[in-house]
Structure 1
Amino acid sequence: NIVTAILCAWNTKACIKRGQKIKEQANHRNVTHLKVSVVVERLLRQETVSKFNEIASDDLTIMDNFKETTSATPSPKEKVPRQCLGRYPLQYTWCLYFLDGTCQSLAWEERLDKVAAVNSLEQFGVLAYGYLMFSSLKIGTDFYFFKQGILPRWDHEQNRNGGRWIIPMENRQRLMDSLWMRLLMSAVGNWYGDLSKDICGFVVNIRRRRSKLCVWTRNGSDEEKTVQIGHAIKRNLEVDLSFTYEMHEDCEMNKPMDQKVKYTV
């Protein structure tokens, strides 16, 4: 089944070694001062990854924007043909973004960094083992995990009529790490069934006092379906917390906090 497939991908020795390498070197390089994608890209170019490439040479799609940050090019010997393993395609292609919220002098588009796109469980296994713990990131940074073709912006056509379920994470840093990974697993594992088509993406906001996880949906005025999604999130995360739903347009208008809450589960 889907969970077994994820575990198989995760338990691949190359994935484990690669994920540990990313975590260790990201911490060593002080990733708070580098784009996450740059760290991942540099590690991908190292000789130590060649063994991983034997398993998944095309399993992590690194974006073209890396070419602007480094002039290094992989040597031909690093391009090892992928071995024949079972491939488990995802229902959707998901894109991971990183936003450095501390550089307010830059435009939003310049601060948003598209890290990778995944469309198989093998790719997700790589990303899961290589993801960075939030304790190593600056206050004010965000991660977005969105369906391909949907930008994490309120004014995007797929988000314009939607909103977000908010899972409060004040002073729950370790819990937030595990819940974020569980949200990603629920996305790639299609734990939401038919409700998945109404989910746009998942967000984690790192803040000093009001860190939170969010799930963006595309039609907040559909109360029945939106509330069903809220209950599904709660069931998948297995937490005893109160979730609230806000429309994007209400957030954009800077309404008072108590006036923005549309639904609660």
Structure 2
Amino acid sequence: MEKKSNDYYALKKSTTVIQKSHFFQSSWTFWFDNPSSKSNQVTWGSSLRSLYTFATIEEFWSLYNNIHPPTKWVPGADLYCFKHKIEPKWEDPICANGGKWTMFFPKAATLESNWLNTLLALVGEQFDQGDEICGTVLNFRTRGDRISLWTKNAANEEAQLSIGKQWKELLGYNEKIGFIVHEDAKTLDRHAKSRYTV
């Protein structure tokens, strides 16, 4: 058996140091909703599944680089990135009293960069009111795609307005965006009106 030289062990040790993981402040989970098994609102959530939880920069890029870009998805698909242990459902106790900010993207060309920049702002803790944020959702639709930010406490107007304004600034988004309370969305569906706008 060949004996390893001291140089080999020194190189192996230095390589280990280089590959040190860089942890985020929070762990995050990617979720996916498969539209083919979603027949109506009653069964919503039955096709929602957790893909992978990540805690480091290295894990994030490994996952992101291996997920098909949204432009290659089937219309109706949803991809979520939520803080670990928060499910992307209105019924989740942390989401129950919250709501969401939504941006619309009629052209797929800007969707991918805005999705990535939203993810980076979240996992990199770029929001002043980051503790208020549950996660983000990308909805790929035939009539125009959407990215939403879900938050915890819809009644906290100051926090919600701060998040909405900062998100627009981070993405350089010039259109008006609205915040819809989850409870309103549940009872009024598509007729729910924005509680706040920025």
Find the residue that maps to 2:113 and give its secondary structure. helix
**1:183 corresponding residue in structure 2:** 118
Structure 2: distance between partners of 1:256 and 1:213: 17
Matches within 5 A, 1:194-205: 195-205=129-139
Query: Is it true that 1:211 corresponds to 2:145 in the alignment?
Result: yes
Taking a change above 3 Å as real, the CA distance of residues 153 and 255 of structure 1, as seen in their structure-2 partners, is: closer
**Given residue 244 of structure 1, which amino acid in structure 2 is its aligned partner?**
G
The one of 117, 122, 127 equivalent to 1:192 is 127
Shift of 1:149: 0.9
Shift of 1:238: 1.6
**1:156 corresponding residue in structure 2:** 92
**How does the TM-score come out when normalised to structure 1?**
0.65
Matches within 5 A, 1:50-69: none
Taking a change above 3 Å as real, the CA distance of residues 256 and 116 of structure 1, as seen in their structure-2 partners, is: closer
The one of 97, 102, 119 equivalent to 1:166 is 102
Cα deviations by residue, 1:97-151 (Å, 9 ceiling, x for unpaired): 1101232259434311211111011111212222211121111110000001110
**2:171 corresponding residue in structure 1:** 237
Q: Is the 8 A contact 2:179 2:195 kept in 1?
A: yes
Q: Which runs of 5+ in 1 are unaligned?
A: 1-81
Query: Is it true that 1:117 corresponds to 2:32 in the alignment?
Result: no
Q: Which runs of 5+ in 2 are unaligned?
A: 1-14
Taking a change above 3 Å as real, the CA distance of residues 225 and 105 of structure 1, as seen in their structure-2 partners, is: closer
Question: Is the radius of gyration larger for structure 1 or structure 2?
Answer: 2
Structure 1: distance between partners of 2:50 and 2:165: 30
Shift of 1:208: 1.3
**2:10 corresponding residue in structure 1:** none
Query: Is it true that 1:136 corresponds to 2:69 in the alignment?
Result: no
Aligned length: 181
**1:250 corresponding residue in structure 2:** 184
The one of 152, 155, 160 equivalent to 1:226 is 160
**How does the TM-score come out when normalised to structure 2?**
0.85
Shift of 1:232: 1.0
Structure 2: distance between partners of 1:256 and 1:215: 18
- Greater strand percent: which structure? 2
**Given residue 91 of structure 2, which amino acid in structure 1 is its aligned partner?**
D
Find the residue that maps to 2:195 and give its secondary structure. strand
**1:16 corresponding residue in structure 2:** none
Find the residue that maps to 1:130 and give its secondary structure. coil
